[in-house]
Structure 1
Amino acid sequence: MSFPAFGGPRCRVITDNDYCGDPDGLVQLVHQILSPSADLRGIIGSHLKEGDPLAPSPETADLSHQRITEVLSILDRDVPAYAGSNVGLADPKTPRPSAGAEAIVAEAMRTDTELPLYVTFGGGLTELASAYLMEPRIAGRLTAIWIGGLEHPDLAPPPPDTPGPEYNFNIDPIAARVVFNDSAIPLWQVPRDAYRQAVAGMAELAVQLRPAGRIGAYLFDQLVEIGKLAGSAGYNLGETYILGDNPLVLLSTLQSNFHPDPSSSRYAARPTPFLDEDGTYRPNSGGRPMRVYTHLDIRLMLTDLYAKLALTTHP
Structure 2
Amino acid sequence: MTRMSGLPRAEPSRTWSLGSSPWQAIPPASAPRARLIIDNDFSGDPDDLYQLVHHLLSPSVTIPLVVASHLRPDDPFDPSDRQAENAASVVRDLFARMGLTSSAVIVQGSNGALEDRRTPQRSAAVAAIVAEAMRDDLSTPLFYVAGGGLTDLASAWLVEPRIAERLTVVWIGGSEHGGLAVPPPNAMPIEYNLLIDLIAGQVVFTDSTLPIWQVPRDVYRQCLVSDAELRLRVAAAGPLGRHLYDEVAAVFALVGTHLGGASETYALGDSPLVLLTALQSLFEPDSTSSRHVQRPTPAIQDDGSYRAVAGARPMRVYTWVDTRLMFEDFYLKLAEFERWQSTGPTAGVSA
Task: Name the TM tier (shorter chain).
Answer: over 0.9
Sort the Cα spacing of 1:52 and 1:152 in 2 relative to 1 into closer, same or farther, 3 A. same
Residues 1:40 and 2:63 are matched in the alignment: yes
1:285 corresponds in structure 2 to 310
1:201 corresponds in structure 2 to 226
1:18 corresponds in structure 2 to 41
Distance 1:4 1:194 in 2: 33
2:113 counterpart (80, 88, 110): 88
Distance 1:69 1:56 in 2: 20
SS at match of 1:314: helix
Distance 1:176 1:11 in 2: 25
8 Å contact kept, 2:176–2:218: yes
1:313 corresponds in structure 2 to 338
8 Å contact kept, 2:256–2:263: no
Distance 1:234 1:18 in 2: 24
Distance 1:257 1:6 in 2: 12
Any idea what the Cα deviations from partners look like across 1:20-61, whole Å, max 9, x if unmatched? Answer: 110000110100111000001111111111122232522111
Distance 2:153 2:311 in 1: 22
8 Å contact kept, 2:108–2:124: yes
* Structure 2 unaligned blocks of 5 or more: 1-22, 341-351
TM-score by length of 2: 0.87
Point out the structure with max Rg over C-alpha: 2
Any idea what the Cα deviations from partners look like across 1:136-158, whole Å, max 9, x if unmatched? Answer: 11000000000000000110011
2:268 corresponds in structure 1 to 243
Sort the Cα spacing of 1:102 and 1:235 in 2 relative to 1 into closer, same or farther, 3 A. farther
8 Å contact kept, 1:54–1:229: no
* Residue type of the alignment partner of 2:28: A
Any idea what the Cα deviations from partners look like across 1:52-80, whole Å, max 9, x if unmatched? Answer: 22325221111110110011111112141
2:86 counterpart (41, 49, 63): 63
1:187 counterpart (208, 212, 235): 212
SS at match of 1:252: coil
* Residue type of the alignment partner of 1:152: H
8 Å contact kept, 2:253–2:262: no
1:125 counterpart (141, 150, 156): 150
- Identity score, percent: 49
SS at match of 2:236: coil
SS at match of 2:206: helix
TM-score by length of 1: 0.97
Residues 1:107 and 2:132 are matched in the alignment: yes
2:7 corresponds in structure 1 to none
Sort the Cα spacing of 1:4 and 1:267 in 2 relative to 1 into closer, same or farther, 3 A. farther
The alpha-carbon deviation at position 268 of structure 1 amounts to 0.7
SS at match of 2:302: coil
The alpha-carbon deviation at position 5 of structure 1 amounts to 3.3
**Superposition RMSD on alpha carbons, in Å?**
1.3
* Residue type of the alignment partner of 2:83: T
* Residue type of the alignment partner of 2:246: D
1:143 corresponds in structure 2 to 168
1:217 counterpart (242, 261, 276): 242
5-14 or 173-182, larger mean C-alpha shift: 5-14
8 Å contact kept, 2:37–2:66: yes
Paired residue total: 315
Distance 1:228 1:56 in 2: 19
Sort the Cα spacing of 1:312 and 1:163 in 2 relative to 1 into closer, same or farther, 3 A. closer
2:6 corresponds in structure 1 to none
The alpha-carbon deviation at position 213 of structure 1 amounts to 1.5
